[in-house]
Chain A
């Protein structure tokens, strides 16, 4: 029986995600949550204390610790690069929150840094780990559904506004933009993962229509892929107040030999309670894909190579390129544009 893999959390700016990954590490049989860092002590403690691990103020000291072999990076998106480069320089493997970065240059530098260090760079796309997505992937790989003709997919959420959410998420210099970059990368990644195709053309409409968030809260992206598959993605922060759920993910796919309609909202029980806010709530009971993803990351590090279906830094870069192409399209009258490749 080998020692559990020591993993640290580097940055808690994506607090709900950092917390969820920390929980997965704390309850893992193969990993050990060593410590948590964030420049903001209150935020760092809010995660570290919940799992009874130290809060560390100095990121460099943390990745230098002989106990830390891997890190989970959840800093603001524009600061991912600094944390990933720091981790790589100290030989740490990285699971990086999505979107991987706000620029193609940063993402490419993160890939180069981990490549040079001989460490793994994973990007957190938990949707790949949903059991129903894995079933679709198996069916597609087996040819059961034929060639994918078209996909309509969505990942909608509540607006990530203060005070519940930190201001950086709606600050383009830190986050890269609004709903489009925040949620479309999940959907683009899933599309690439399921079809094995790359996106060749993107058209997008965006709008700041709902929340006065200072960034776009509504977006629709149309994609054309290398294998003639087309897709329309809805990454909007369009979940209204009092909605019975907070986030959704859905995928409706049609292939030449069959179709799939799936969502993660119907896997829930209905609740109405005098103690739980207004009206109906749908309380999900899905398996936690975050935990499955973190386990797969740990497993990849222990095995010395990424295991299926983990997403790589390149996967993160590709979905970022599509999001950035979406912004260029939206700024240019919704014209179709090609995603710029880093190569």
Chain B
């Protein structure tokens, strides 16, 4: 959730708040309005401490902390909504392409950061594991031809999930990519479910010959 970052960026009239040392650290979390205010104060202090305040002049010193942040459009909810709607309308099924794949393929190109943040959020926060497995499968298919380097990190995290559905989806995704770069992920995984362990062993054999 980037609301705090966008809000602070807007309030401080900074073109890119990530350029300010220390600010990103405080802003990369989901926040209530009260937390946003707290983050704002901490960020301001951090900015002052790092001498980054000066280039932005008086405008940064005259802001007012408001009770709740303004609603600034964030591309991620739109992506999330599109994918969730696509999956709600049509189940993800092995062997058949799904409309969510095209949505994710486009997003990986146009807004990769949002895709990463959303997938990480899904893997850590979402409790509808079947849905996470479906989204992961669509993501894997979306980048099938040329998985970006960070996609392997997503798959690695997915393989650590407590959910069999998510782990199975991750293993299938690694088989789908079929690249030697994926090999280290299943190799260091210790699978507890018998049938999935057998499958992962098959995937390892396959990747070793990739």
Chain B associates with chain A: no
Interface residues of A (CB under 8 A from B): none
